[in-house]
Amino acid sequence: MLNTKKNKKIRRNRIIYLIQENFLVSVIIAVAIISMVISGIVATEHSRERGKDGGTKTTLVKADTINLAMFEPRNFNVYESIDEDIFYINQLVYSSLFKLDKNLNITPDVVSKYSVDTSNGEVNISLKDNVKFSDGSDLESSDVKASVDRIIAAESRSPYFVYASKINHIQINDSKNFTVVFNSASDAALDNLIFPITSAGEYKKGESFAIGSGPYAYSGHESGKTLKLAVNKYYYDGIAKLPIVFNIVKDRSVIPGLMTMDVVTAYLNKTQDADSIAQDKKLKYKKLASGELEYLGFNHENKYCSNSKFRIAISKAIDSSKIIKYNYAGAAVTSDSIYYPNFLGAKKDDTFNFEPKKATKLLKELKLKDRDEDGILEDESGNPVTLRILVQNTNKQRLEAAETIIENLKQIGINAELVSVDADSYKDKLESKQYDIYFGGIKIDKQFNLTDLYTTYNKIGFSDSKLLTQISRLEQSLSSEEQLKQFTAIKKSINQDASYVPVCYKAYWFLSVDTLKNADDVSFYSPYEGAVKWQWSKRKTK
């Protein structure tokens, strides 16, 4: 839902920014006006309003181009570019075997049907018959094989190598049917089959603008100025309504100003106060959960934190909504597990709900009581329950959130001490387990493979092999229905274990002009998802 409430506190902090930004916008206004004319935005009349004096009028006219913004990429090559903007553009120009929806469900893209042999780590795939590249040629099995070979040849230079490298080979049966053979059964995950497909015959090594079979096609690039995408008239899933022009900028801070002039239609803003900027510019804005998890990890060598009931009690004492509002300035969302909010559309779980009374009840069951009535709980030997919360002092948000958590824990009788250290000391204390709870963060990729927290980045002494096996199984090839069933069981298990507790997921902001329609499918991973349906109108004042 689009948020329209004012954030007065943040707005005051933006005064200096706005003065500076308005100066920058005034400098480029002449160029912006020229850009609007060149882009051919104005088309059919939509509606009209007259000024009170009857002499001026504002007319809404339908746009015939979607205007976006980007930095000048260092590399346009589909398989080698690590530029974030190119990653997003690849999703417009190229199709994939599978893709992710806004809840990170894996759905077929150019695949008509598939079957999985989990024991042998193989996926049998049939391609849709009506998929064509933007030059009109058919997408076939050989194109998929060639694409995988190109990614593997690029090795670590390719952002897709980590996925494609798990494929041993592709066995082609005919032009529309093939088998993907993975290196091992554990590698056989459908999200390893999300990568851009290029033509086997047309692609040249290292080329910048390879043709694809997505809804758009590269149509022009003027260095430092614009990148143009034309509508792919052969796209199998419906022709896009409008072409796209990316205006190349050097400073993202000027984009909101450009949006007020209809030079930019929409963009993904990752700054914390983007909602305040949008309010000041009278733009629409939508909060999107990102892939950046903020969490607490419990040291299993601590006599209290080694108990899952104690860990759940701590989680129920933490007011995540308050933390998001005051420590993250609203730029975050809650989650009912360490997995992405609403991951796979699974049913909500209440294990980590903010319920201080239930937290107190759980602690009583552990025979932790305020025996000397000093406000702090003691164990049966009379020892006060004191916890050390480790946080890196260079991360202001976590530092402030940790202070809020300490206040929360005090309300249930637990004394917590803040251990605030620099990055090197933080790492050393994690390794030597000189903490009871640590406050950490992790940026998760499209696979949302959280096994690393339990293996590679396991700093808590986690050793439940049964749970780890259960978590790992989710990464193997499964249908959407099977994956949801598997995840529902896993979420219950990891929540009851509570070795890791989510504080929040940081949020990004999708900003747009207030006339943009049909932008309902955007996500942090794919901010232009559904652009084929986008429509908008610009204001013309006479």
For the segment 97-154, what is each residue's pLDDT rounded down to a tens digit? 999 888 888 899 999 999 988 889 999 999 999 999 999 999 999 999 999 999 999 9
The two structure tokens encoding residue 502: 């989510």
As a whole number, mean pLDDT of residues 266-283 equals 95
* Residue 213 · residue 34 · CB < 8 Å: no
pLDDT at res. 219: 96
Rounded distance, CA 436 to CA 272, Å?
30
Angle, helices 320-327 vs 396-410, to 10°: value is 140
The two structure tokens encoding residue 371: 């025996």
Q: Does residue 21 have a pLDDT over 70?
A: no
Angle, helices 308-317 vs 396-410, to 10°: value is 100
Please give the domain boundaries of the chain with CATH numbers for all domains. 66-265+513-541 (3.40.190.10), 287-508 (3.10.105.10)
As a whole number, mean pLDDT of residues 518-532 equals 95
Q: Does residue 6 have a pLDDT over 80?
A: no
**Lowest-confidence pick of 14-23, 95-104, 169-178, 321-330:** 14-23
H or E stretch covering 539: strand 537-541
Long-range CB contacts (within 8 A, 24+) of 372-379: 375/410, 375/413, 376/413, 376/414, 376/415, 377/412, 377/413, 377/414
Q: What is the pLDDT of residues 197-243, one digit of tens each?
A: 999 987 877 788 999 999 999 999 999 999 999 999 999 999 999 99
Q: Characterize the bridge pairing of strands 332-333 and 226-231.
A: unpaired
pLDDT band at residue 541 under the 50/70/90 scheme: confident
Q: Does residue 299 have a pLDDT over 80?
A: yes
* Residue 255 · residue 267 · CB < 8 Å: yes
Closest CA to 268 of 283, 285, 281, 282: 285
Stated pTM of the model: 0.85
Angle, helices 480-497 vs 465-473, to 10°: value is 150
pLDDT at res. 49: 45
pLDDT at res. 364: 97
Closest CA to 500 of 469, 457, 466, 470: 457
pLDDT at res. 471: 81
**DSSP 8-state symbol, 507:** E
pLDDT band at residue 393 under the 50/70/90 scheme: very high
Mean predicted lDDT score pLDDT of the chain: 88
pLDDT at res. 134: 96
As a whole number, mean pLDDT of residues 479-483 equals 77
Can you name the residues that pair with 441 across neighbouring β-strands?
A: 294
Residue type, 476: Q
Rounded distance, CA 121 to CA 98, Å?
17
Q: Does residue 478 have a pLDDT over 70?
A: no
Q: Characterize the bridge pairing of strands 57-63 and 42-50.
A: antiparallel
pLDDT band at residue 470 under the 50/70/90 scheme: confident
As a whole number, mean pLDDT of residues 526-531 equals 95
